[in-house]
Amino acid sequence: MPANPIKPTIPLDADGKHHGFLRLPYSRDDSAWGSIMIPLTVIRNGEGPTALLTGANHGDEYEGPLALFDLAYTLEAADITGRVIIVPAFNFPAFKAATRVSPIDQRNLNRAFPGKPDGTVTEKIADYFNRTLVPMADIVLDFHSGGKTLDFVPFACAHVLDDKAQEKRCVEAVRAFNAPFTLMLLEIDNVGMYDTAVEDQGKVFVTTELGGGGTATGTSVAIAKKGVRNVLIHAGIMKGEMETGPTVMLDMPGDDCFTFSQNDGLFEPWVNLGDPVEAGDMLARIWPTERTGEPPVDYHASRSGIVVSRHFPGLIKSGDCLAVIAVPQGDGAGG
């Protein structure tokens, strides 16, 4: 495998606090020998565990970057034992463009793993994390939200894993994050995801969906800031007391948790995030937009549970994720 061209501009293993970049050479029209400069902070204080923290894996999700630019500014070496590697804008070109995927190669970083050292810009970022940064880490936290097209109740989540001891360590870390909801997440398609790449390396992995709509709220940012500190304390890296409150435990027992639109049109939500629903309840109505006098198409809940995600924009297309329902743990249905 060729070497990855990304070079950190600061040491990854020196004591103290260093701000710099992951410099990714990218020769282009407006910069012949130019580079993409991905902001990076490394804080180390002696021997101890390493946490790898990332935001803006998708460029239009803001709780992660807000919590991590803040953490990089405020956390000091004296506050920790071990090492914290902070990359607030993981897919930096997408973050700068406020888009989900990279404007350079149109790649979704969270479907580009394990990546390629001689591939596109996004594939190079994926390969660098997969082969250089993730192997250094004991615990990995990757922030997500719904971006411009989805909105979520705020949750931290783990995946069901074959290695039950690893799954238990992940669930403990997710519970430490202490979002208002804690979810065992079923992915629609986990191939190429950072999550899968990190979990395949045996690491403790925490991810989130903390809001959406292409913005952040005071509430969602506070959840993100509290969560990352709790995870660092849980990992034995940061000193201090965890700040914890109640969390609702949720499962996603099957594919029928997801409802996808089969129509284009005007999206009329009938439920709000966090609402309990029974199987058969109305979720949404989609109105045809080309003329009046045409009937709407109604979408119903395929199972009982809580609405944890919904389509965000006012218009919807066939194939868009319309809503996601999760099931409070202990409500039967297994998972």
Binding segment (CB under 5 A) for Zn ion, from list 116-124, 144-152, 287-295, 309-317 = 144-152
Min separation Cβ 64 and Zn ion, Å: 9
Min separation Cβ 144 and Zn ion, Å: 3
Min separation Cβ 196 and Zn ion, Å: 14
Min separation Cβ 71 and Zn ion, Å: 19
List of residues 6+ apart from 14 with CB closer than 8 A? 42, 44
Binding segment (CB under 5 A) for Zn ion, from list 54-62, 64-72, 158-166, 176-184 = 54-62
Under 8 Å between Cβ of 205 and 158: yes
- Site size toward Zn ion (CB under 5 A) is 3
96 vs 103: CA distance, rounded Å = 9
Q: Considering beta carbons, is residue 61 or 199 the nearer one to Zn ion?
A: 61
Q: Considering beta carbons, is residue 45 or 99 the nearer one to Zn ion?
A: 99
Min separation Cβ 98 and Zn ion, Å: 13
By CB under 5 A, residue 310 contacts Zn ion: no
Antiparallel, parallel or unpaired: β 282-287 and 315-316 = unpaired
Q: Considering beta carbons, is residue 61 or 251 the nearer one to Zn ion?
A: 61
Residue with tokens 């020196």: 14
Min separation Cβ 301 and Zn ion, Å: 24
By CB under 5 A, residue 229 contacts Zn ion: no
Q: Considering beta carbons, is residue 145 or 178 the nearer one to Zn ion?
A: 145
Residue with tokens 């952040």: 216
285 vs 116: CA distance, rounded Å = 43
Segment 261 to 280, residues that bind Zn ion, using CB under 5 A: none
Q: Considering beta carbons, is residue 58 or 203 the nearer one to Zn ion?
A: 58
Q: Considering beta carbons, is residue 82 or 154 the nearer one to Zn ion?
A: 154
By CB under 5 A, residue 58 contacts Zn ion: yes
Count CB neighbours of 40 within 10 A: 22
Binding segment (CB under 5 A) for Zn ion, from list 86-94, 124-132, 137-145, 148-156 = 137-145
Min separation Cβ 129 and Zn ion, Å: 15
Q: Considering beta carbons, is residue 127 or 209 the nearer one to Zn ion?
A: 209
Segment 178 to 207, residues that bind Zn ion, using CB under 5 A: none
Binding segment (CB under 5 A) for Zn ion, from list 4-12, 53-61, 76-84, 245-253 = 53-61
Min separation Cβ 228 and Zn ion, Å: 16
SS3 of the chain: CCCCCCEECCCCCCCEEEEEEEEEECCECCECCCEEEEEEEEEEECCCCEEEEECCCCCCCCHHHHHHHHHHHHCCHHHECEEEEEECCCCHHHHHHCCCCCCCCCCCHHHCCCCCCCCCHHHHHHHHHHHHHHHHCCEEEECCCCCCCEEECCEEEEECCCCHHHHHHHHHHHHHHCCCEEEEECCCCCCCCHHHHHHHCCCEEEEEECCCCCCCCHHHHHHHHHHHHHHHHHCCCECCCCCCCCCEEEECCCHHHEEECCCCEEEEECCCCCCEECCCCEEEEEECCCCCCCCCEEEECCCCEEEEEEECCCEECCCCEEEEEEEECCCCCCC
Q: Considering beta carbons, is residue 214 or 269 the nearer one to Zn ion?
A: 214
Contact with Zn ion (CB under 5 A) among 124, 144, 175, 203 = 144
Q: Considering beta carbons, is residue 61 or 151 the nearer one to Zn ion?
A: 61
Min separation Cβ 175 and Zn ion, Å: 21
**Residue ranges binding Zn ion (CB under 5 A):** 58, 61, 144
